[in-house]
Amino acid sequence: MLLSARAEPALRVLLALIGAITTLPALALVNVGILDWNYGVAAPAPMTQALLQHRGMLQLLLGAAIMWAAFHPPVRLAAALAAVAGKTTFLALILPNAAIRGDLSPLSVWFDLFCIVVLGLLAARLLTLPRRA
């Protein structure tokens, strides 16, 4: 068993919240102003807008996978590993570049770091569980 009967509901709530928050960049599909708030990009060039809106769609899919994992334990490892890989890649691309780092919402950075730690620990726990035959 991954968690005690008392801890499982807390994990479900945590995963559901992480998943829901992860989906928020998808709002850029219906309100381009979100791009300014989240990424510091006001009046983006058409290609930049399309790429950031596409990123929003990918975040919607990732968030949905994390929410699914909250209530369907067999997908937890895949969802956790996908989120850790995606969020780590995003931060690795953004944080070293001082020219763009300042435009990113600090809340986004802290949220992604939190997710990397929590979902990384979950993935490590799932990977170290004894396998059932």
CB 65 within 8 A of CB 13: no
Low-confidence ranges of the chain (pLDDT < 50): none
Question: What is residue 132's predicted lDDT score, i.e. its pLDDT?
Answer: 66
Give the global pTM: 0.89
pLDDT at 133: 54
- Residue 33 phi, psi dihedral angles, 5° rounding: -60, -25
Alpha-carbon distance of 62 to 116, in angstroms, equals 13
pLDDT at 13: 97
CA atoms of 45 and 64, how far apart (whole Å): 28
Q: Which amino acid is at 75?
A: V
User: Residue 2's pLDDT is what?
Assistant: 64
| Rounded Cα distance, 14 and 79, in Å | 14
Rounded CA gap, 29 and 74, in Å? 30
